[in-house]
Structure 1
């Protein structure tokens, strides 16, 4: 082997880009770059033609996965329009269609880029792939917690960045920013419940904060019950009880108004354990106890409890809108994958 050949082989072995793409045995990259579907950008990932990429039909995420909801993809598309695709996707050559690619990792980024109107997407070609790789990649991904999001917002506010600009930068609503700002300065009872993981739903924390500002001792006592379940439903009932408790007493001689029993305990009211009305009490017949003012349907989906959003029109027959109880996320789901859990009064 002459000196020039030795130098050429040495340069190939030392190239991190060649090794990262698994191109060590390719003597010439011109075949890869000959077509318009892939262009190397300054030694970085390839700019893959979106029209030549197909999604893997066997990927582990199903169509009703929360990551594929319309709201989630719209937020991702807004972020991509603002900042582009920051993390390249991974593809492999499609064995059933020459010149096309199948997605290994990055289906959400691909769909978001489609919604954003991109014609190319940064990516790497990795033909050393099996189906277990996708499952592992999704299992090992840890999403940002509410605390981590709040800390980021706090740092940006400390720099003088306005809430509206932060919302635009991360493609979230101003309400989303305000809810997380609440987490930065919680009173002790709420901070303990949140920091210990007893309550993770940011909406629930904000509801409790509203109630705490009015009657801090009652909310602290309610949270002091270790057996008290903290959910959107229980907090709603707690707030209704506290509002009724703080309502002004009726004026002497005035017509009596229907009100919650003054002797009901906060915990019992929040758990929906109020006693049924007696016949004739407050002018209501006993049969009224058998009627629900507003039905709240709880279901089980993806091993999580959710509320069936009866007030939201479903996009098609057999599909419904759900809202997870633990974090408030809304999504469309097939009713085939939903199990009825409880029928409550809202």
Structure 2
């Protein structure tokens, strides 16, 4: 047995060593620009806080959603005035953003131009492989554009310290990963000084309060590595709550509602604008019901923007969007 295990362990150790010795490609510039001095939107100007979803209810056909405890201006999550807390209300701009892997025949994203405004929700939809996640990863500079630029507050993200940049961003990735600890420590991962009241408010917005209250210990209930003691939908809701606790200037939801049933999805989206008030919000989804009421919908196809508009505008003018919608909804539901 030892003759088999020792060589395998040696090979594994060499691989681990190679990973640890790898120099990251995303590094801070020699003289980074400080975000605190740039990009502020004047009070009452463009990007003034709003609901982010047309009609103010955040969803279509969601009668009966109870958001009475989350009225505009109520609750700690709606008052964001600290570092990374909306003091400057930063906009994100992708200007001809292109990304491709070395040696690939075609880029994953090609010449994408869009702007994420403070206080507004922008949705991105497209088929699998359209480049949606790649677009999301460009904003916090998990990857760098190979052409074009991504700007935060008017500054190219490559001129910012990555740590400073990411202090302003809350990302909920496709795969909701939870670290071992407790519910409270999980939610405080991005902001250790958050109060219990803020944790409960974030859980309520994320439609997770009820099941957390039912856990032995509540906020002190254990979370296993990877969140394996929770269902997929519960993990997603906890990951969303964790992002809301962060009180960011930019929220990125990368297909973060996919494991939720339609009723929970609708209630969450109805409550979400109250907690992201004043922030720029990007929602990526494959499910039409999740994004149809966004103020701006961007349609991606094979890495390119092929349409931009509201749901009804795109239904009238964009064949790609029509195909996606009618593959999920009946003609009556899509109207």
Structure number with bigger Rg: 1
TM-score, with length taken from structure 2: 0.25
> TM-score w.r.t. structure 1 length?
0.25
- Which structure has the highest helix share of the two? 1
